[in-house]
A and B are shown apart, each in its own frame.
Chain A
Amino acid sequence: METLLPGLIKASYFLAALLFIVGLKRMSSPRTARTGILWAGVGMLVAVAATFALPGLHNRELMLAAIVLGTAAAWWSGRRVAMTAMPQMVALYNGMGGGAAAAIGLAELIAAAAWINAHPGQCAFAAAPAATCLAPSATVLAYVGLFIGAVSFAGSLIAFAKLQGWMDRRFVFSGQRALNGVILLAALALGAWTLTADFGSGLQVSLLAIVVFAALALALGLLMTLPIGGADMPVVISLYNAFTGLAVAFEGYVLQNEAMIIAGMVVGAAGTLLTQLMARAMNRSLGNVLFGSFGAAGGAAQAIAGAQKPIEAADAAVMMAYAERVVIVPGYGMAVAQAQHKVWEFAQALIARGVKVRFAIHPVAGRMPGHMNVLLAEAGVPYDLIADMDDINPEFPTTDVVLVIGANDVVNPVARTDPSSPIYGMPILDVATAKNVIVVKRGKGTGFAGIENALFYADNARMLYGDGQAAVASLIAELKAMDG
């Protein structure tokens, strides 16, 4: 048994890594996606069970208590939360993972420091280091993982707070970038200094320096995320997701745990690519998201002539009932109003009258790519009625009515026409080229980017003011009255 057990544990980690990769692969196709998470879940259970069996570990009661507590709290909150709140929940759980990776780095570095300080010189780089010493490469990666994990932890929690609406304002002050730079440099210097103590002969490693190093990383994550506007949050969450993956991989190397290395690295790479795809969909470079000052250039934007022209629900309903083609463009406003079920009910009523109805989804509609698709799927809208931006844009000129529900910046024509606009160059749904546009909107305010929308003033656009859910409900009622 004593000789068999380590092999069994290694085999379990191998199985877990395999199941994670197969699970993720299955999640990348709509047909197999649902079983993908099951496979990955089994992998996780196998890995956790194997770790319990690891010989020589102490504090097993504490382990069990922490697992039960953490699992119960997260399970409960994850079950309870509304589908519209999913993006911030991903941010929250991702932050927890980053925090866990940072905790591993902190614990291992503190333990290593205690050993070095008790045995001066034995881990020196020049001498043949004792077997109990943390290898130099592992020590470096422990610091790097601690740093990245702590940035991801603090940053994700800020992202969560912002999306949850606990923190509305962007927090900007002059010299912010310089301060971030100073913090980064200070952390690098401190890390390098403790490393020389780790490997120098006879030097004492300062525990305080390690803790300050972690605190600097936390401060950087906080300050990096505070000035970023809500519209850029999905990109940031995805970036921190990749960060956590990398931190997990590095701490996995420190602990010589294959499952952590592979799973962490796969997520690190996948998350980086996903972040790029998202940033590209918004026509923003990653550097721009992190360091740009979004909205600051808004003052120079061209003034928009004309007035918003309101329309009554009855007129809007007639317009669509006798149209040949109707395209519905949902945005975050629809998600907030929980109107997706009503919208689908309305679409079905139109389809029953012989109208060709499709849904057009901008790559960053909602708060995350695909978020809107998930919400429409929840309401029961079949895939084949949902079109991507590239597929639907050529069809707008032949579309009779476009119904825009709670979308704003992603249909704003200034992204094409006004080079001084902060969203200039962002690919948009070209709804302004349709014969008629009806915009369901709560009030006259601007979108998340804080930019006036030229579409609302266009000659072919009509505004249907009201809460998304109520407005669509009245459209349905008007349709029914017509049949009467």
Chain B
Amino acid sequence: MIDGFLALYIFMLAAFTGYEIIARVPVILHTPLMSGSNFVHGIVVVGAMVALGHAQTPLEQVIGFVGVLLGAGNAAGGYVVTERMLDMFKASKKKEGG
């Protein structure tokens, strides 16, 4: 069980981690990073799967199904968009290297 103060510690440390990761980032990476963090919270699909797995009534099943659908969209869409953005940095690097 993650409960009470243990949860608070995790919340706090994770928050500092997120803050530190962004704190010294060049402006050119802000959009890709926003997109990347958008992908990372796509982990919500895992929670939606659990919620759907617990669902017993048709109403809960519908809500769970919509949740998994949206969560999967968040993860997949976030990945594709971030990858496409970052791919451009590769292309320009190749040209620089000759």
Interface residues of A (CB under 8 A from B): 16, 20-21, 23-25, 27-30, 33-34, 36-37, 40-41, 44, 47-48, 51-52, 54, 56-60, 62-63, 65-75, 77-79, 81, 83, 86-87, 89-90, 92-94, 96-97, 99-101, 103-104, 106-108, 110-111, 114, 135, 137, 237-238, 241, 244-245, 247-249, 251-253, 255-271, 273-274, 277-278, 361, 363, 368-371, 373-374, 377-378, 380-383, 386, 388
Contacts and interface: CB of A to CB of B under 8 A. Distances in A.
A44 B92 CA distance: 28
Contacts of A378: 88, 91
Contacts of B35: 86, 90
B34 to A, nearest CB: 6
A52 B24 CA distance: 37
B14 A66 contact: no
B70 A62 contact: no
A103 B50 CA distance: 11
A385 to B, nearest CB: 10
Given A59-B52, A94-B78, A249-B14, 4 more contacts: A248-B41, A278-B30, A370-B28, A383-B96
Interface string B84-95: 111111111001
6 contacts: A63-B49, A79-B84, A100-B44, A100-B68, A248-B43, A374-B85
Contact of A51 (B19, B28, B50, B57): B50
A107 B26 CA distance: 40
B43 A44 contact: yes
A103 B89 contact: no
Contacts of A101: 44, 47
Contact of B41 (A89, A107, A264): A264
Contact of B18 (A58, A244, A265, A388): A265
Interface in B42-88: 42-57, 59-61, 63-88
Contacts of B22: 28, 269-270, 273-274, 277
A271 B16 CA distance: 12
Contact of A20 (B43, B52, B92): B43
Interface of B: 1-4, 7, 10-11, 14-19, 21-57, 59-61, 63-92, 95-96
Contact of B39 (A33, A40, A268): A40
Given A24-B33, A374-B32, A44 B87 contact: no
A443 to B, nearest CB: 28
Contact of B70 (A96, A252, A266, A380): A96
B41 A62 contact: no
B71 to A, nearest CB: 4
B68 A63 contact: yes
B2 A104 contact: no
Contacts of A52: 49
Given A62-B65, A255-B50, A271 B34 contact: yes
A33 B70 contact: no
B43 A71 contact: no
A34 B57 CA distance: 43
A74 B30 contact: no
B36 A23 contact: yes
Contacts of A66: 52, 65-66, 68-69, 72
Nearest to A152: B41
A90 B34 contact: yes
Contact of B46 (A30, A51, A262, A386): A51
Given A260-B43, A261-B2, A378-B91, A103 B14 contact: no
A266 B40 contact: yes
Given A63-B52, A104-B51, A107-B63, A99 B70 contact: yes
Given A256-B1, A382-B95, A244 B15 contact: no
B26 A266 contact: no
A17 to B, nearest CB: 9
Contact of A100 (B39, B54, B74, B90): B74
A93 B78 contact: yes
A156 B57 CA distance: 30
A36 B19 CA distance: 17
Contacts of A247: 44
Rank and list the top 8 A-B pairs by shortest CB-CB distance, nearest first: A57-B53, A70-B72, A103-B67, A269-B18, A78-B80, A74-B77, A265-B14, A97-B74
Contact of B60 (A54, A83, A111, A370): A111
A69 to B, nearest CB: 6
Contact of A89 (B15, B44, B77, B92): B77
B40 A368 contact: no
Given A33-B29, A44-B42, A74-B77, A83 B84 contact: yes
Contacts of A386: 28
A427 B29 CA distance: 20
Given A90-B81, A96-B70, A21 B41 contact: no
A374 to B, nearest CB: 5
A363 B61 CA distance: 45
A371 B35 CA distance: 11
A369 B89 contact: no
A257 B47 contact: yes
B73 A111 contact: no
